[in-house]
Amino acid sequence: MNITERFLKYVSFHTTSDDSTNLTPSTPGQMFFAQYLVEELTAMGLTDITLDKNGYVMATLPANTDKSIPTIGFIAHMDTSPDMSGKNIKPQIIEDYDGNDILLNEEKVIVLETSKYPEITQYKGQDIIVTDGTTLLGADDKAGIAEIVTAMEYLIAHPEIKHGKVRIAFTPDEEIGQGAHHFDVEQFGAEWAYTMDGGEIGELEFENFNAAAAKVTCNGVNVHPGYAKHKMKNSIRIAHQFISMLPRHETPEHTDGYEGFYHLLSMEGSVEKTTLNYIIRDHDRDRFERRKKEMQHLVNKINAEFGENTATVELKDQYYNMREKVEPLMHIVDLAATAMKEVGITPNIKPIRGGTDGSQLSFKGLPCPNIFAGGHNFHARFEYVPVQSMEKATQVIVTIVKNLAN
């Protein structure tokens, strides 16, 4: 099975995560996929294969040399984002891409336009896997899983490549911020690892957002609208006022690089009660803490105007910037960068505008830089991944393992 066939098989599993179930894994499809992976890894000849009750898959590629070599790991996540449907994905392969717009769905007239996504034109002449425009693709992060499994298969088939012990793991629920919650770092037993969860070819990351979730609740008073003067308190209008009080340009659509943001994910409301669900992101820890304080400050201002307990906010930290844990061990980043160069890739070291399992794992004692998986436009109908990028990621994994033994 080549990497394209493997990836297409993986995306046939419906593994959308769901943060409302309070289960791990949060959805049954993730466990079905985990069971399939166990069967595949067993047939391949890996050892120490485990699948725990929470859906975490771990396995070992044993060392084939007596040299003393650090045990390292590679990690990817099985779930896909709840931002868009991951059920009944119908991938299409655009062979020898011509550099023009791609018609994803003729019936619904869904087109991946190069004017909106110009980065796709750099893959002219390559083979690109796209959706039919009605679901996401799942390259985030089934491309990463396919790359890790394919690399292990290659190393087994080429015993002349000497290497130390390699551990691999596939996790549930990364997309809802819970991928590392039940990860047993001691059982995994690696000195460090790499998540294969980055974007376009060449990405190498050891910085990510500090992240929190904020739930703002606005409480109102409903009265017959014909007799509401000085009596009604419309929570929807109060919520709208709260939204307008946040900096309008500190949102995802106006920020990049190291710029943080407030992102209104969803709102649900009536006159009596309106709920706003935000995520807060910033690479800088001090600015991150100030952003959380600003949310509370604005809630206090609402209450000063409309009365005590009109608004409340619940803040919950999700993960932190792994830079402080990885930076003292920059040789592990250098090892990945060198491997990329050896297979003809220019490393693009930049901050992650998001998070990975690696950010939480780094704080649990397993430093985890992030390597590209090759996809673009994650969590959306226009997600795609070039086959050649997945092949290069596989080569990077093999080269890291090989170089560590030299």
3-class DSSP state of 61: strand
Report CA-CA distances (Å) from 403 to 150, 188, 267, 292. 18, 21, 50, 43
Task: Give dist(CA 213, CA 340) in Å, integer.
Answer: 35
* φ/ψ of residue 392, rounded to 5: -65, -40
Measured distance CA(79)–CA(60) in Å, rounded: 22
DSSP structure string for 154-195: HHHH-TTS----EEEEEES-GGGT-TTTT--HHHH--SEEEE
- Those residues whose C-beta lies under 8 Å from the C-beta of residue 294, and which sit 6 or more positions away, are 246
Query: Residues 329, 322: contact at Cβ < 8 Å?
Result: no
CB 239 within 8 A of CB 218: yes
Q: Where are the beta strands (DSSP E) in 142-245?
A: 166-171, 192-198, 203-205, 210-219
**Element (DSSP H or E) covering residue 240:** helix 235-245
Catalytic residue selected from 40, 140, 174, 282: 174
- Pairing mode of beta strands 203-205, 370-372: antiparallel
Helices 285-306, 235-245: axis angle to 10 degrees equals: 140
Strands 57-61 and 166-171, sheet pairing: antiparallel
**Token digits of residue 12:** 């046939």
Q: Is 79 a catalytic residue?
A: yes
At residue 315, what is the residue type? L
Q: What are phi and psi of 156, to 5 degrees?
A: -65, -40
Distance of CA 381 to the CA centre of its chain: 16
**Following DSSP, what letter does each residue of 196-225 receive, concatenated?**
EEE-STTEEE----EEEEEEEEEE-B---G
Catalytic residue among 40, 79, 173, 383: 79
Number of H helices, E strands in the chain: 10, 17
Q: Rounded to 10 degrees, what is the CA torsion of 293, 294, 299, 304?
A: 100
Q: Is 250 a catalytic residue?
A: no
**Rounded Cα gap, residues 202 and 186, in angstroms:** 30
Active site residues: 79, 174
